[in-house]
Amino acid sequence: MKKFYPNHGVSTSISMGEKVVTELRMRIVSQDIPKDSVLSENQIAKAYQVSRSPVREALKILEKERLIRLERMGAVVIGLSEQDIEEIYDIRLMIETFVTNRLVKSENDVLLNDLRKTLEMMKIAIKYGDVDEFSLKDIEFHELIIKSIGHKQILMVWSQLRPVMECLILLSMRYRSQVNYQDFDRILANHDLIIKALSNKDYKLIEQAFYSNFDDVQNRVEDLWTNSEMMAKARDYDG
């Protein structure tokens, strides 16, 4: 069976159920498993060569993420609607705008250093054609910013948002890599702008940086979620 989630994104310390859920989540978000499909524990256990216990664990996680609905007959796939995706990006923008406004009022040399290192790793990944590594480092870049203010409630919301957001970013970057690889320069420039804005403690530049980054990532692939041919291209990516 084809793997949908990158191997280097899976920690060796996670449970078998968590490994199964990373694959199922990507298959649902990428529409490899279509909306209204019915999944059974036995089918999943056989497909992934695991017992039913980790499958139950995986399905409970997916239900909490509202990607499936558990019923007596099995798990019914709900998937993501356009509105779901818009709301995910809305929440992410709200979180990061709040966090960066807090950061402007404090010293953040350690964070800036970490962000520069992560951006360099993003540049190396894209130079060598590792789009999945680039995507994972992109998420790490933004998570560094969110974690930096030590706001437990925001971190809790981010942690709930991250798994599905990660799938969206992986798929959008996989699609982009096949239709316009040079466009990654734009993403890197946006991240450079975020670092510059935080370094200069410039409110206007911060607003420009984040809206530029979100508009770029969201608007340039918005048709991906409703166009079956575009999604097939992202889904069939083989890095």
Say what the pLDDT of residue 1 is.
Answer: 66
Point out the least confidently predicted range of 130-134, 152-156, 157-161, 215-219: 215-219
118: tokens are 């992560």
**0.85 surpassed by pTM:** yes
CA distance 83 to 176: 22
Say what the pLDDT of residue 218 is.
Answer: 55
Helix (H, G, I), strand (E, B) or coil at 106: coil
CA distance 168 to 29: 7
Say what the pLDDT of residue 10 is.
Answer: 65
Contacts of residue 58, defined as CB under 8 A and 6 or more positions apart, other chains included, come to 17, 18, 20, 21, 24, 44
CA distance 205 to 194: 8
Say what the pLDDT of residue 215 is.
Answer: 63
**pLDDT per residue over 172-188, tens digit each?**
999 999 998 988 998 99
103: tokens are 């950061």
**pLDDT per residue over 190-215, tens digit each?**
899 889 888 988 878 877 777 776 66
Average pLDDT over residues 141-170: 95
Average pLDDT over residues 87-116: 89
Contacts of residue 152, defined as CB under 8 A and 6 or more positions apart, other chains included, come to none
Q: Give the residue, 48 or 221, on which the prediction is more confident.
A: 48
Q: Give the residue, 120 or 89, on which the prediction is more confident.
A: 120
Say what the pLDDT of residue 223 is.
Answer: 82
Average pLDDT over residues 225-237: 89
For the chain, domains (ranges, CATH) are: 7-77 (1.10.10.10), 82-235 (1.20.120.530)
Question: Has residue 217 got a pLDDT over 60?
Answer: no
**pLDDT per residue over 11-33, tens digit each?**
666 788 888 999 999 999 999 99
Residue 82 burial class via C-beta count within 10 angstroms: exposed 0-12, middle 13-18, buried 19 and up: exposed
Q: Give the residue, 200 or 144, on which the prediction is more confident.
A: 144
Question: Has residue 69 got a pLDDT over 70?
Answer: yes
Q: Which residues pair with 76 in a beta bridge?
A: 38, 69
Question: Has residue 108 got a pLDDT over 70?
Answer: yes
